[in-house]
């Protein structure tokens, strides 16, 4: 292996760690617990600590799909060289750092995706239209689906004829059912990704289509029963504990999705370097997200929790459930998705259901949406121009 390749890989690795730190300090570290902080259930600093732990766990156990999509699935016909990877990561991290400094949530997925495509096109790569259509559909539908689900849930939770011990326990059961069926690293046969339900079926030694159904139902009923008993015993405390549990799951999902934006571009370089497992890269990215959450997330948490909507525990629960579901769908599809977009949309929907649109800052929403759109376009243009310049000069 040539020393120059090692040097470039080390530089790219440092850029990836910086990107992971920025993600932890921004979207991944801020959005999962912003509703809980807004509901005064947990302090800002404690939220940053907890989200870092769960973000790291999600990165290691669920980060492979999005990492593969970002690293190898956005541009056809080429493999990004080390210099291109460095350009992509510094563009994405730089734009995210601007968002953290100003307090406005620039979408990481938009910046990294735009930068990868721009750099890839400058190197002569071809479009991957099926993947773009899939990504575009998720990005476009997320505000409507997430906001609509949050609006619907928040409209039901305050009703006197639907006690929280029933409605919230039903939501918790549904979340438990989904969690039992998502893939985790190492739970499948021979160390492949697999679900808790699948692992349970193999442990029982029964290979029948009914086994996953029965096990999924058992998990859902068990979770719903525990939550029902807790809320019936202590309604206020039970709702807070459910809120913290949902926030932790969203933080876990954020790590699984967002780590791919930091380490995905590194994957093509592993073929040149050798002897480095993708799992090691995921662990490194997860560690960067953890440190970023601990050191840089409080500012963004405060911005999201206080500026978008005045949240209570019920509205916060309504915001976190669709956030978890959309995030897990994105992980399953291998689609880079913005957690700012997911959670902010859900916060807006839940806030509007109870407090009306007066409880939501219209100016903040417009500025945020504008930042999302501009971040993709700017990252694409800067990525293309930077890489084209390097090719011309080199």
Domain that holds residue 89: 3-158+255-318+336-393
Determine, yes or no, domain membership for 378.
Answer: yes
Residue pair 55/254 in contact (Cβ under 8 Å)? The answer is yes
Averaged pLDDT for residues 233-254? 92
Whether residue 238 is predicted with pLDDT greater than 80 in this model: the reply is yes
pLDDT for res 37: 82
Determine, yes or no, domain membership for 283.
Answer: yes
Determine, yes or no, domain membership for 30.
Answer: yes
- Please tell me the least confidently modeled range out of 167-171, 230-234, 364-368, 374-378: 364-368
Whether residue 275 is predicted with pLDDT greater than 80 in this model: the reply is no
Please give the C-alpha separations between residue 148 and each of 139, 143, 262, 371, in angstroms, as whole numbers.
Answer: 15, 8, 30, 22
Averaged pLDDT for residues 133-148? 92
- 262 phi and psi, to 5 degrees? -90, -40
Residue pair 268/72 in contact (Cβ under 8 Å)? The answer is yes
**Rounded to 5 degrees, what angle do the CA atoms 243, 331, 193 make?**
105
At 96, the pLDDT band (50, 70, 90 cuts) reads confident
Max Cα distance, the chain (Å): 71
Determine, yes or no, domain membership for 202.
Answer: no
Whether residue 260 is predicted with pLDDT greater than 70 in this model: the reply is yes
Helix (H/G/I), strand (E/B), else coil: 1: coil
Averaged pLDDT for residues 383-390? 94
pLDDT for res 206: 80
Determine, yes or no, domain membership for 259.
Answer: yes
Q: Report pTM.
A: 0.89
Averaged pLDDT for residues 77-93? 88
pLDDT for res 328: 95
Determine, yes or no, domain membership for 271.
Answer: yes
Determine, yes or no, domain membership for 223.
Answer: no
Whether residue 288 is predicted with pLDDT greater than 80 in this model: the reply is yes
At 344, the pLDDT band (50, 70, 90 cuts) reads confident
Q: How many CA atoms lie within 13 A of 342 on its CB side?
A: 32
**Rounded to 5 degrees, what angle do the CA atoms 30, 36, 37 make?**
70
Q: In the predicted model, what is the mean pLDDT of the chain? A: 86
Averaged pLDDT for residues 129-156? 92
**C-alpha dihedral sign at 133, 104, 175, 252:** positive
Determine, yes or no, domain membership for 120.
Answer: yes
Please give the tally of structural domains in the chain. 1
At 12, the pLDDT band (50, 70, 90 cuts) reads confident
């Amino acid at each position: 292996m040539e020393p120059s390749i090692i040097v470039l890989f080390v530089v790219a690795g440092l850029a990836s760690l910086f990107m992971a730190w920025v993600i932890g300090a921004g979207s991944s570290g801020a959005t999962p617990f912003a509703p809980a902080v807004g509901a005064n259930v947990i302090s800002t600093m404690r939220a940053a600590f907890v989200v870092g732990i769960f973000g790291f766990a999600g990165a290691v156990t669920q980060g492979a799909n999005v990492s593969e999509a970002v690293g190898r699935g956005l541009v056809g016909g080429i493999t990004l060289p080390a210099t291109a990877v460095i350009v992509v990561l510094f563009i994405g991290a730089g734009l995210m750092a601007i968002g953290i400094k100003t307090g406005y949530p620039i979408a990481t997925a938009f910046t990294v995706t735009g930068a990868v495509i721009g750099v890839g096109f400058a190197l002569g790569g071809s479009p991957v239209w099926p993947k773009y259509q899939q990504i575009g559909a998720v990005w476009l539908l997320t505000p409507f689906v997430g906001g609509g689900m949050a609006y619907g849930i928040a409209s039901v939770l305050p009703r006197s004829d639907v006690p929280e011990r029933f409605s919230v326990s039903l939501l918790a059961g549904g979340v438990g059912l989904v969690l039992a069926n998502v893939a985790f690293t190492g739970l499948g046969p021979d160390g492949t990704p697999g679900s808790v339900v699948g692992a349970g079926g193999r442990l029982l030694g029964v290979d029948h289509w009914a086994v996953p159904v029965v096990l999924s139902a058992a998990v859902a009923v068990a979770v719903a029963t525990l939550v029902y008993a807790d809320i019936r015993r202590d309604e206020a405390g039970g709702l807070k504990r459910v809120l913290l549990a949902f926030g932790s799951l969203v933080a876990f999902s954020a790590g699984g999705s967002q780590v791919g934006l930091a380490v995905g571009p590194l994957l093509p370089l592993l073929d040149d370097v050798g002897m480095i497992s993708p799992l090691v890269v995921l662990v490194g990215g997860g560690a960067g997200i953890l440190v970023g959450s601990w050191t840089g997330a409080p500012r963004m948490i405060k911005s999201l929790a206080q500026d978008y909507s005045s949240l209570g525990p019920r509205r916060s629960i309504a915001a976190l459930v669709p956030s978890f579901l959309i995030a897990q769908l994105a992980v399953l599809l291998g689609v880079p998705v913005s957690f700012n977009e997911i959670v902010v949309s859900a916060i807006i929907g839940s806030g509007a259901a109870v407090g009306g649109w007066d409880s939501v800052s219209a100016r903040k929403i417009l500025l945020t949406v504008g930042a999302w759109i501009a971040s993709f376009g700017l990252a694409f243009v800067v990525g293309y121009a930077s890489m084209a310049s390097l090719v011309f000069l080199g």
